[in-house]
Structure 1
Amino acid sequence: MPQPSQPLRSLGFLTIGLFDEADPARGHESTLSIIELGERLGFDSAWLRHRHLQYGISSPIAVMAAASQRTHRIALGTAVTPLGWENPLRLAEDLATVDVLSGGRINPGVSVGPPMQFERVKYSLYPDTANDEDFGYGRVSRLLGFVAGEPASTWAGTEGIESYSDRVQPHSPGLRSRMWYGGASLRSAQWAGENEMNLLVSSVVRAEESTEFDEIQLSHIGRFRQFHPAGRDARVSQGLVVIPTDSASAGQIAKYEEYARGRSVRTHEPQGPARMMFAPDLVGTSDYIAEQLYANKSFREVNEVAFALPFSFDHEDYVQILTDIALELGPALGWRPAPQ
């Protein structure tokens, strides 16, 4: 059994929230019940992916709002919101509203770049400005400013019987400190540090200085902390796919191993013109996974993780995986569940 030199402080999980097009309510209910289970098991955070025009969560903020009313303690985050799909001012209003509803538990993670499938959707998203939109870091800066309470209007006051604010309402004072950036490159890691965000280290990264996934994640953590005013105290959360099998049935184990085999080819070398590297999935007993994690240099640099649930499993599989993470893997990493 590996002995942690620094206990894992925060244990979270990430879900894509798949659903059947013929019965979307059932899939969304499954996602909410998984988040409720996570809270009962003592997880510190639950994170939601975006899947626009697919059969997964298209509106994590709406799902977080629902989850906030069915939980009391667990933090709720997005990993990540692609800002190319969003208006920063409207997004700031939604995030602040859900943060107030949740009692200050929202952890929004964001990223920049053109939306996926942009050529196919750009005239639906931006019918008049598709070729002029800036999808760079300025979009994040605008969001951060609005969340922090910077002016969104040139005027505040009363007009007739209507009162107006010059900043986003409601204002949630602690939300700015809980903004995360999902970085896949050294440039993004540096920008996040310079702008005092928290960093979500991606399970899909750009091969720049190395083709070893662990080395790439480690370089992102180092660059982020180098440029963040808090230095080594700056918050970093690592995202990997782990599938413990401690209480899994023989059928589940076979399914999990086949899933990992089908995805393993893409982990061997950079993929595509962007030279993207994918993290290998870790499947096995919690003791085995803990040993693999402690052999990972980047894992030893963090004390927060958000383990990603596989995309295409059944509800009962997620229950088994989450339960084993909380009862077996987490303690093997020095983590202790949050008090109920």
Structure 2
Amino acid sequence: MPTSPRPLRRLGFLTIGLFDPQNPAPGHESTLSIIELGEHLGFDSAWLRHRHLQFGISSPIAVMAAASQRTSRIELGTAVTPMGWENPLRLAEDLATVDLLSGGRINPGLSVGVPMNFDTVKGELYPDTAQSEDFGYSRVERLARMIAGEPVREFEGKHGVVEEFSRRVEPYSAGLRERLWYGAASMRSARWAGESGFNLLTSSVIFPEPGQEPSFAAIQQAQIRAYREAAAVSLTASGQARVSQGLVVIPTDSASRSQREKYQRYVDERLPRTRAPQGPKSMLFAPDLIGTSAQIAEQLQAHLGFQEVDEVAFALPFSFDHEDYVQILTDIATTLGPLLGWVPKT
């Protein structure tokens, strides 16, 4: 097996929180149970996808708040919150509140861009300002400034008998700014994240540069290196610009025969999209990694993108059942993680 230049230091997982639209409560409860299991298994972090007008978690902040009261150690993140749907000031208030409730365990992952299928929802989302909304980097920069405690107005002080007002967003949660992540898929966004003081989330989707050879792993490696170069100033107290990779891995060590067959069908259905660039931006998808933990570890150790990181948030497949996620997470924590040099937290 090829040797990675760095052992895996932090192990996390990412879930979409799928639910039945006719009975959504059990799906949300399943997500909370999976996070509790993750903490029990020693995972460092649990991350929630953010979905709007779909059958996955639409309010990860609410779910993180609930999870923070049912766990004590595991870090909780979003991967990612699309800022085009958000008011930065209100989001800053919510994130800081949940961070305080969790004891400083929140890792907000963010992205920018026009909301998905914007034409179908803009009349409800921004009925009066759809044409003038700025969906670029400035939206996430505003959020970062507010979370950092910078003033948002001059008005402050006591007014009347009991009302007292602040210049900054309240509550303020110390350290949260250093735990902001940006989900980058292009060279430009990777560099911007480094220059702007964000940690980097890189996933199973990337956009190559024009004329760049369509090799997912090589392009991901180049983006991570460009990010680290741009992040010359330290982002955390440890002086490290943090990078987390989020590939889909499906270990089958303890899976039943029927589970293995289901998993393989899922992977086979998704494989064709990885064989060539997709769409006008030539989007590249990484193949899902399926097999025994030893087989997956060998593939990861040879992956140029994985060789650049010491943190991962392995993505759970979208459409599996609760017991499938239990099996996959258990195999990751007990077998795959240790093969990659990871030590479970207690």
Question: TM-score w.r.t. structure 1 length?
Answer: 0.98
Q: What 5-or-longer segments of structure 1 have no aligned partner?
A: none
Aligned partners of 1:171 and 1:258: how far apart in 2? 47
Matches within 5 A, 1:32-71: 32-71=32-71
Asked if 1 retains the 8 angstrom alpha-carbon contact of 2:204 and 2:286, the reply is yes
Distance across 2 between alignment mates of 1:221 and 1:299: 10
Matched ranges for 1:138-287 at <5 A: 138-160=138-160, 161-208=162-209, 209-230=212-233, 233-287=240-294
Counterpart Cα distance in 2 of 1:86 and 1:253: 39
After TM superposition, give the deviation of residue 230 of structure 1 in Å: 4.1
- Decide whether the 8 Å contact of 1:266 with 1:278 is kept in 2: yes
The DSSP-based 3-state class of the residue aligned with 1:21 is coil
**By how many angstroms is 1:229 displaced?**
2.1
How far apart in 1 are the matches of 2:226 and 2:276? 23
User: Aligned equivalents of 1:163 and 1:229: distance in 2?
Assistant: 40
User: Residue 18 of structure 1 aligns with which residue?
Assistant: 18
- What is the deviation of 1:4? 4.7
Which amino acid is the alignment partner of residue 58 of structure 1?
S
**Alignment partner, residue 109 of structure 2:** 109
SS of match in other structure, 1:290:
helix
Contact 1:2 1:290 in 2 (8 A): no
How has the CA–CA distance of structure 1 residues 320 and 201 changed in structure 2, closer, same or farther, with 3 Å as cutoff?
same
What amino acid sits opposite 1:175 in the alignment?
Answer: L
**What is the alpha-carbon distance in structure 1 between the residues aligned to residue 4 and residue 343 of structure 2?**
13
CA deviation vs aligned residue, 1:4-39 (integer Å, no higher than 9, x gap): 542200000000000001110000000000000000
How many residues align? The count is 339
Q: CA offset at residue 234 of structure 1?
A: 1.2
Matched-pair contact (CA < 8 Å) for 1:2–1:332: no
Contact 1:108 1:180 in 2 (8 A): yes
- Using the TM superposition, give the Cα deviation of residue 298 of structure 1 relative to its aligned residue in structure 2, in angstroms: 1.2
CA distance in 2, matches of 1:194, 1:118: 29
With 231-240 and 66-75 compared, the bigger mean Cα shift is at: 231-240
Query: Aligned AA for 1:197?
Result: F
Contact 1:11/1:44 (<8 A) preserved:
yes
Counterparts of 1:287 and 1:217, CA distance in 2:
23
**Counterpart amino acid of residue 203 in structure 2:** S
What is the RMSD of the two structures over their aligned residues, measured on CA atoms? 1.1
8 Å contact 1:269–1:277 — kept in the other structure?
yes
Contact 2:84 2:115 in 1 (8 A): yes
Residue 89 of structure 1 aligns to a residue in which SS? helix
Contact map agreement 2:2 2:302 (CA 8 A) in 1: no
- Distance, in Å, in 2 between the alignment partners of 1:201 and 1:49 is 14
Structure 1 counterpart of 2:220, which letter? Q
In 2, Cα distance between the equivalents of 1:4 and 1:190?
24
Q: CA offsets, 1:259-315, max 9 Å, x none? A: 000000110111011211111000000000000000101111100000000000000
> Matched residue of 1:57: which SS?
coil
TM-score (norm. length: structure 2):
0.96
Gaps of 5+ in 2: none
Q: Aligned residues: percent identity?
A: 68
**What amino acid sits opposite 1:206 in the alignment?**
F
The structure-2 alpha-carbon separation of the partners of 1:3 and 1:189, relative to structure 1 and needing over 3 Å to count, comes to closer
Q: Are the equivalent residues in 2 in contact too, given 1:196–1:229 (CA < 8 A)?
A: no
